[in-house]
Each structure stands twice: as structure tokens, then as C-alpha cells.
Amino acid sequence: MKKLFGVLFVSGLVALSAVAHSDDEIKARIAPVGSSCMSGDECAAAPAPAVAAGPKSGKDVYGSFCTTCHGAGVMGAPKFGDAADWSARAGKGLDTLYTHAINGFNAMPAKGMCAACSDDEIKGAVDYMVENSK
């Protein structure tokens, strides 16, 4: 009985230390998550560089949204850099292109799926594509 108790005791210690150990492991594993900055924390005082202040440039908007379809000409989208594709469009006048980009046009989704973009940012992206597709 004494021996059995000893075995139980030892295995109990082993179990305890295993628990303690895995606790530490878990803490170590979640540390990077727990140490990431939350807004309001001291470490979050400096604005994250990814959050650019002010309007996004036409190039940025193009690169984040429009290129998905216009980069390769998906679904008949006028292809970036393709003068023939764009000269036909440009004939409609820039204002029409702006309106179509903002409100959508056939398979062209409104604002090119950048719901958070301002009209001016979308216009900038149109300008960027037109300017670089001559």
C-alpha cells in the first residue's frame, strides 16, 4: 500500500509538473498574441505605418483593388497598360469613366469593390490607369 501510494504520489507530481510545464508552454505560445498592441496601449501610441493618413494615391488604389481585374483583363476589363483597350474607353470622356468606375458598369463593380474609397480616390485610380495605358 505504501509502495502504491508512493507510485501514485510520484505520478501525481509528474502529472502536476506536466500541467505546469504545459501551462508555461501555452503562455509562451500565446505571448506574441498577448503582446501585440491594442489601441490605447502605450505601445500603440505611435500610429501604425500601414494606416496612411490622407487620401490614397491612384496608384495605391489601383494596386490594392483595380489590379485584381484590370491587371490581366479579367472578364473583359480593359487591361492596365493596354493602349488599345483604353483608347476605346477614353473616347467616352473621362467623366463617363469616372462615373462608371464609381457607380459600376456591367461587370465592373461599383468603386472596383473598394467600398471605403472616396470618389476622388477612385478617380485617381482611373487617372492612373488611363495615364499608364497610352
Chain positions contacting ligand HEC, by CB under 6 A: 61, 65-66, 68-70, 74-78, 89, 92, 96-97, 100-101, 105-109, 111-114, 122, 125-126
Cβ 58 to ligand HEC shortest distance, Å: 8
Cβ 43 to ligand HEC shortest distance, Å: 34
Cα–Cα distance, 61 to 41 (Å, whole number): 30
Cβ 19 to ligand HEC shortest distance, Å: 52
Closest by CA to 125, choosing from 77, 69, 57, is 57
Give the bridge partners for 105, in sequence order.
Answer: 108
With respect to ligand HEC, which residue has the nearer C-beta, 6 or 118?
118
Cα–Cα distance, 113 to 38 (Å, whole number): 28
